[in-house]
Chains A and B, each alone.
Chain A
């Protein structure tokens, strides 16, 4: 069975073909990042227009790379939220149209579910597992009992981890997305050079908070002369990254203690960070899985595969499923 995945929730137009064995036949992405850079951020109306311009090209390229024809597609899977509605609608309407002209079933998928299930694409992960989605927009732990059965058990109450890295990066002159360069610089620095407090959220011991750490590091940055800041860049990156990931690890330990699971997975942009993977693997008693690098950020292969798993479990969606800018994956289990 071949599944065509379409993802247009934000500013990347992505189309992928995945088969029912989880093999990725193609995974094409056309990024608008450079285009939006000149406006200093994503302009929703321009993003959706670009999706409309690009969707056919990206789709054809994906079929070509997968070396298949339209008639070889058995299922269409598309992101239905959360995201920018105008952008989502382009992908969803194109997918609905394909479903009618190809006479093939369709599945609308939650973008977060795509991230959460993405580690399953390249390896066998035992259920139940704890999924940590850690990106520029999210930092949360979700208990995955099986595909389709989720319980959010911990989340950040303010900034997302990737967002904290990006904001810190901006202060020391690293362009968005800052995560990859911070990781590189941190390797050359001393993670003990600066000490930052371990955040605590009073009302909810399982919740995370990153904004306090950001304030602490800003104090250090402003106290340094520009000369010293240049010299201390590596040490700052190493210490700040250490503080963020230690907070994630401490929370992960509490979470897996409360909800016994057979594994922990990490996905989302920050999961590309090797130091995060090592911190969690060394510090936890359960095995840790991460998706292949190309699957950690937004992509359509994860949407295709999540669509396949949902289709197998519950059959197709009706053509008139709704599109949501805000689409919670699971209810939040407050403690």
Chain B
């Protein structure tokens, strides 16, 4: 049985095919903006190349946030069609748990920062795959850690540029599908968690 993974929410995106939960081929793009129009095309090409038919797909795994808001909507809109038409269940993966696969040996609480727009992102605390807390913060505040109550703490991020601005450590997810996910069989009720609340939305404008 084959699985599809759609990760369209981070600055660098990936579309992958798995066989028995092991990755067999993947297309990675370094810019979400540039790959916006090609996710489905890439997926189609991957399936053609591997000679995989739609009916061979067992699950669609989709990273559903936090991350760039447009990317969240994109991944979910694509994955909805699989459930709506073929009743293939989708497995929603939290981005923190997805990135956690890139950090080995973690016994303590890990802090991860995931950008969601040019100016802000989500800071999450995770321990042994359990998400303890998340909140929306301004990127500049995370860079000045003092303001958010940490001094020289180790904060991980998947954003290379931010990591280079010294205060954060760059991580890349491994291709391992996480053991924690939420399986849904109808998308009629899938509403992403990580969108700005109305208060957050209007404070920004």
Does A89 touch B at the CB level, under 8 Å? yes
Task: Give the shortest distance, in Å, between A307 (CB) and chain B (any CB).
Answer: 17
* Chain A residues packing against B (C-beta within 8 Å): 43, 45-46, 48-49, 52-53, 55-57, 59-60, 70, 85-86, 89-90, 92-94, 96-103, 318-323
Quick check: B37 and A97 within 8 Å, CB to CB? Answer: no
Task: Give the shortest distance, in Å, between A207 (CB) and chain B (any CB).
Answer: 34
In the complex, A85→B70 CA distance in Å?
9
- The 8 tightest CB contacts between A and B, nearest first, are A97-B81, A96-B40, A320-B41, A93-B77, A319-B41, A97-B78, A94-B77, A320-B38
Quick check: B73 and A100 within 8 Å, CB to CB? Answer: no
- Choose from A49, A85, A97 the contact partner of B79 (Cβ within 8 Å): A97
Secondary structure at the A interface, as helix, strand, loop or mixed, is: helix
Does B54 touch A at the CB level, under 8 Å? yes
- Choose from A56, A320, A323 the contact partner of B84 (Cβ within 8 Å): A56
Quick check: A86 and B77 within 8 Å, CB to CB? Answer: no
Quick check: B44 and A43 within 8 Å, CB to CB? Answer: no
- Choose from B38, B81, B201 the contact partner of A101 (Cβ within 8 Å): B81
- Tell me which residues across on chain B come within 8 A of A102, comparing CB atoms: 85
| Interchain Cβ contacts within 8 Å, total number | 87
In the complex, A135→B36 CA distance in Å?
30
Quick check: A52 and B73 within 8 Å, CB to CB? Answer: yes
- Choose from B43, B44, B73 the contact partner of A89 (Cβ within 8 Å): B73
Does B181 touch A at the CB level, under 8 Å? no
- Tell me which residues across on chain A come within 8 A of B26, comparing CB atoms: none
- Tell me which residues across on chain A come within 8 A of B70, comparing CB atoms: 48, 85-86, 89
Quick check: A94 and B37 within 8 Å, CB to CB? Answer: no
Quick check: A93 and B54 within 8 Å, CB to CB? Answer: no
How many chain-B residues does the 8 Å CB contact rule pick out?
30
Quick check: B76 and A52 within 8 Å, CB to CB? Answer: yes
In the complex, A59→B41 CA distance in Å?
22
Quick check: B77 and A45 within 8 Å, CB to CB? Answer: no
- Tell me which residues across on chain B come within 8 A of A97, comparing CB atoms: 40, 77-82
Quick check: B80 and A55 within 8 Å, CB to CB? Answer: yes
- Tell me which residues across on chain A come within 8 A of B196, comparing CB atoms: 45
- Choose from A93, A103, A318 the contact partner of B39 (Cβ within 8 Å): A93
- Choose from B37, B38, B78, B84 the contact partner of A59 (Cβ within 8 Å): B84
- Choose from B36, B69, B80, B187 the contact partner of A323 (Cβ within 8 Å): B36
Does B191 touch A at the CB level, under 8 Å? yes
Of residues 173 through 191 on chain B, the ones whose CB sits less than 8 Å from some CB of chain A are 187-188, 191
Quick check: B188 and A56 within 8 Å, CB to CB? Answer: yes
In the complex, A59→B188 CA distance in Å?
11
- Tell me which residues across on chain A come within 8 A of B77, comparing CB atoms: 52, 55, 89-90, 93-94, 97
Known: A49-B73, A102-B85. 12 other contacts (CB 8 A): A49-B192, A52-B192, A55-B77, A56-B188, A86-B69, A86-B73, A92-B37, A94-B80, A98-B81, A101-B54, A103-B54, A320-B41
- Tell me which residues across on chain A come within 8 A of B74, comparing CB atoms: 89-90, 93
Known contacts: A43-B201, A86-B70. The answer to whether A57 contacts B40 by CB under 8 A is no
Quick check: B37 and A321 within 8 Å, CB to CB? Answer: yes
In the complex, A100→B84 CA distance in Å?
13
Does B86 touch A at the CB level, under 8 Å? yes
In the complex, A85→B36 CA distance in Å?
11
Task: Give the shortest distance, in Å, between B7 (CB) and chain A (any CB).
Answer: 14
Task: Give the shortest distance, in Å, between B205 (CB) and chain A (any CB).
Answer: 9
In the complex, A318→B73 CA distance in Å?
21
- Tell me which residues across on chain A come within 8 A of B69, comparing CB atoms: 45, 86
